[in-house]
Structure 1
Amino acid sequence: MPAGISLLWICAMIPYVITLEFKHHSAKDLESFLQRVHTSWPSITNLYSIGKSIEGVDLWVLAIGKDPKVHTVGTPEVKYIGNIHGDELVGREMLLHLIEHLVENYGKDPTITKIINSTRIHIMPSVNPDGYAMTDLENQCLSSSTGRYNKAGSDLNRNFPDYLQENKLPLQPETEAVINWILNETFVLSLSLHGGALVASYPYDNFKGDVNKQGYSKCPDDDVFIHLAKNFSYNHAGMFYGDECEGIPTFTDGITNGADWYPFEGGMQDFNYLVGQCFELTIELSCCKNPAASELETFWNESHNSLLSFFQLVHLGVKGQVLYSDGKPIENATVKVQGRDNINPFRTNQKGEYYRLLLPGNYTLEVTVPKGHSQSVKVEVFDKEPNLSALVVNFNFSITDGPSTTETYQGSNIAGIVEQNIILLIFSVLFSFIHF
């Protein structure tokens, strides 16, 4: 083979190295970048669109993972969303640079490699491309502009169904696309990136029933959300100070309950938690909503540690499957944590899976299958798992839905290490119906 041809063949075998410029990227630039990434790293990426904006622009998502095209049992799904307000530009650009950082360091950086191998990541840089197109990129630091809204003049972060108070606004196509996406994936953890402040906000954004109520709106998993928010804030270069933006309230530890800051209806964050069983934070990344392109690299340096470390939090708590004794998954079984009265109980997906983010501690899980039979189990959740895997607790119901049992699990390495014949022997001795 001639030397020149040989060199070309070798170069073709090496993934294309992408150097993403710190600038504001148009919809065409964004799509071109995502296509190049997928072409260069096809084994760990999958590029897909969840729908179109009013102007017909694709709402692109890049999935990154060991099995990027399909959900794998036991692998939690995480999503990062940017630019729901079209004139809030920093999050959009940070997500493009995050994509570049992840794919180029896969197989090189041990932590990033472990994250990608244990998690399916979905990154959507812009949910409001029409608003972005209407934004004056040179008119910096406006408090608000027409670009905030979609082409129909709707604030997409006020457009989601609200289960705390009725939201009568007609759904926009971008909102419908995100809703369908949430309901058809098994998302466990999520970030929505905004601008205009520097703070990590968590549910609830609204109050149940009382439109005039003010103050802290506490959800059943308040402790988990505070932990998630502090993790992001403390890993950020300045967010944890809580007082970085002029004219914005001081936030202790750089975090806030959404309603305690200001309540509103129809937020994506509450919808994720109440309907999608997904713990979402709203992250305000910059005091200025639309800063100059020359400042974007500084924002990346300040926030990339937070964006990377947050992925690992999807492995907190407990996960598992609810199955019949013949191995058939049980869909729509409720999984309740004693003492946490969720408005909509967490339920298993089509593969019988559940994921439940919990902090270290002792809990009682109660699983009820559609025919009404239930099992309860006491579990001890330990601190962050070194192998990025939550405590695995599976539930096994007989075909005839036998009597309920209660048992205690400790640790996270029990599941999956005992063979079926040993389990059956334990069943016969202990008269229990626990399946690891």
Structure 2
Amino acid sequence: MDFALLWLGLLLPLVAALDFGYHHQEEMEAFLKDVAQNYSSITHLHSIGKSVKGRHLWVLVVGRSPKEHRIGIPEFKYVANMHGDETVGRELLLHLIDYLVTNDGKDPEITNLINSTRIHIMPTMNPDGFEAVRKPDCFYTNGRENNNFYDLNRNFPDAFEFNNVSRQPETVAIMEWLKTETFVLSANLHGGALVASYPFDNGVAATGSSYSRSLTPDDDVFEYLANTYASRNLNMRKGDQCKNKMNFPNGVTNGYSWYPLKGGMQDYNYIWAQCFEITLELSCCKYPREEKLPFFWDSNKASLIEYIKQVHLGVKGQVFDYKGNPLPNVIVEVQDRRHICPYKTNKFGEYYLLLLPGSYTLNVTVPGHEPHLTKVIIPKKSQDFSALKKDILFPLRGKLDSILVSNPPCPMIPLYSTLPSHSAATKPSLFLFLVTLFHILLK
């Protein structure tokens, strides 16, 4: 019996237990490579680029097909440590990796999540900034920016105003990475407050900025996503745990309502990459002492897992021509929530739309042809680990190849400046106006 147990132990993956401390670049790389080697069937480690100082920007993928996309399996991502001195998210993602791989095959929820989702985890987007910080500090340090002293969360193209800054290697790496995958849902992890913030971070009158907030056409989904995370983090949900900071009802806020910023990553994801992203501020202190890390893991573990599951909201499917060939670059959007950069099918003809339960009309459009409308009903109780599947046959007979191939990408310009009135979904309601006025009077 002892020999059998010994052989069983030798067959099981062995990774040294991840401690609750801060892991610098070499330690982090060693852990990630160890995981990739010992759990090679469900993980894939790769670098999407390098920082200013040449440090790799590592991404660990977890899923049943970690090296490539599979039709019907949505792509999810977490990115942390965008500001080098905001460190809690970096360590949480390392512990999330450890939790996922060690519970596969043991915990049914984690096993089903890995079966149905391809999860991309980037523990640090700004390794140079992290290494520049000499000791834990709750406030601003030079490590916030990258090694060229650029704030990476002000470094992306902006849909509302020109952002003529020098694109940094870390930013370019993210932008190129977003072109390689059909990301559906994402969150970027920050510190210095305790709140889940959702787009837009910037705005114009057409998105409601006159009323101290900036709404996307999918505002209902974004509010739901932010509440999903915050509601499972007891301290975040209280909304007032950081001294001398704003109070956030239920631990959520619209980004613009908190403070406007230009060139942010979450707006870029939503507009140009068809990926719903929110920003998670996870600690009042930017760089807390490492003995606090177990507390942060306990506070965020359930939220991190539950948020990944939301990638299965709504409806997904493929668009086919009359011969059964999948059609890329076809616009598929809900009729009353058009995106300023139209959401299109990928090279496999796939679309993914995050939607709450309800009845919707999908507008399927090929430029130069009449739109094809189809109704879907998202049930109140969605299927476990799967969005509603709805394949669509585009009724047009004839050649579509030249139209679909030549369909140009959305330009990287301030798009909202050219469309002053875009979508009814972004117009503030009377209720929102009264609530905003009430808050102003209380200040």
Query: TM-score, normalization: structure 1?
Result: 0.88
- Other structure's SS at 2:298 match: helix
2:144 maps to what in 1? 148
1:430 maps to what in 2? none
Q: Which runs of 5+ in 2 are unaligned?
A: 400-443
Note the C-alpha offset of 1:170.
1.2
CA offset digits 1:122-145 (Å, max 9, x no partner): 00000000000101233x212x11
1:208 to 200, 204, 207: 204
Contact 1:330 1:352 in 2 (8 A): yes
Contact 2:21 2:293 in 1 (8 A): yes
1:295 maps to what in 2? 292
**Higher deviation after alignment, 6-15 or 374-383:** 6-15
Residue 277, structure 1, aligned to residue 268, structure 2: no
Give the length in aligned residue pairs: 397
1:311 to 305, 308, 312: 308
CA offset digits 1:86-109 (Å, max 9, x no partner): 000000000000000000000000
1:227 maps to what in 2? 224
Q: Matches of 2:98 and 2:16 in 1, distance apart?
A: 7
Note the C-alpha offset of 1:372.
2.3
1:53 to 51, 54, 58: 51
Note the C-alpha offset of 1:8.
7.0
Residue 198, structure 1, aligned to residue 194, structure 2: yes
Letter in 1 for 2:192: G
CA offset digits 1:223-255 (Å, max 9, x no partner): 000000000000112111100100111001100
Note the C-alpha offset of 1:366.
0.6
- Other structure's SS at 2:212 match: coil
- Other structure's SS at 2:18 match: coil
2:249 maps to what in 1? 252
Contact 2:204 2:210 in 1 (8 A): no
Residue 218, structure 1, aligned to residue 224, structure 2: no
Contact 2:322 2:397 in 1 (8 A): no
Relative contact order higher in (CA < 8 Å, ≥ 6 apart)? 2
1:375 to 372, 377, 380: 372
Q: Matches of 1:383 and 1:203 in 2, distance apart?
A: 25
User: 1:53-72 to 2 correspondence within 5 Å?
Assistant: 53-72=51-70
- Other structure's SS at 1:253 match: helix
Q: Matches of 1:210 and 1:85 in 2, distance apart?
A: 30
Q: Matches of 1:191 and 1:92 in 2, distance apart?
A: 13
Letter in 1 for 2:153: N
Note the C-alpha offset of 1:300.
0.4
Q: Matches of 1:323 and 1:254 in 2, distance apart?
A: 42
**CA RMSD after TM alignment:** 1.9
Q: Matches of 2:36 and 2:252 in 1, distance apart?
A: 35
Question: Using a 3 Å threshold, how does the CA distance of structure 1 residues 384 and 146 change in structure 2: closer, same or farther?
Answer: farther
2:174 to 172, 178, 182: 178
**Higher deviation after alignment, 363-372 or 303-312:** 363-372
Contact 1:162 1:265 in 2 (8 A): yes
Q: Matches of 2:319 and 2:206 in 1, distance apart?
A: 37
Query: TM-score, normalization: structure 2?
Result: 0.86
Contact 1:164 1:209 in 2 (8 A): no
Question: Using a 3 Å threshold, how does the CA distance of structure 1 residues 16 and 267 change in structure 2: closer, same or farther?
Answer: same
Residue 346, structure 1, aligned to residue 343, structure 2: yes
CA offset digits 1:296-351 (Å, max 9, x no partner): 01000111100011111011101111111323221111112121131111111111
Contact 1:373 1:401 in 2 (8 A): no
2:16 maps to what in 1? 18
- Other structure's SS at 1:132 match: helix
2:72 maps to what in 1? 74
Contact 1:79 1:187 in 2 (8 A): yes
- Other structure's SS at 1:385 match: coil
**Higher deviation after alignment, 295-304 or 387-396:** 387-396
- Other structure's SS at 2:309 match: helix
Letter in 2 for 1:28: E
Letter in 2 for 1:74: G
Contact 1:18 1:100 in 2 (8 A): no
2:402 maps to what in 1? none
Would you identify which runs of 4 or more consecutive aligned residues in structure 1 move more than 4 Å? 6-10, 209-214
Contact 1:330 1:369 in 2 (8 A): no
Contact 1:17 1:104 in 2 (8 A): no
Q: Matches of 2:338 and 2:364 in 1, distance apart?
A: 14
The percent of aligned pairs where both chains have the same amino acid is 50
Residue 165, structure 1, aligned to residue 161, structure 2: yes
2:119 to 118, 121, 124: 121
Letter in 1 for 2:148: A
Letter in 2 for 1:15: P
- Other structure's SS at 1:347 match: coil
Letter in 2 for 1:374: P
CA offset digits 1:388-418 (Å, max 9, x no partner): 111111111356259xxxxxxxxxxxxxxxx
2:387 maps to what in 1? 390
| Bigger helix fraction | 2
Q: Matches of 1:177 and 1:336 in 2, distance apart?
A: 28
Contact 1:277 1:346 in 2 (8 A): yes
Q: Which runs of 5+ in 1 are unaligned?
A: 403-436
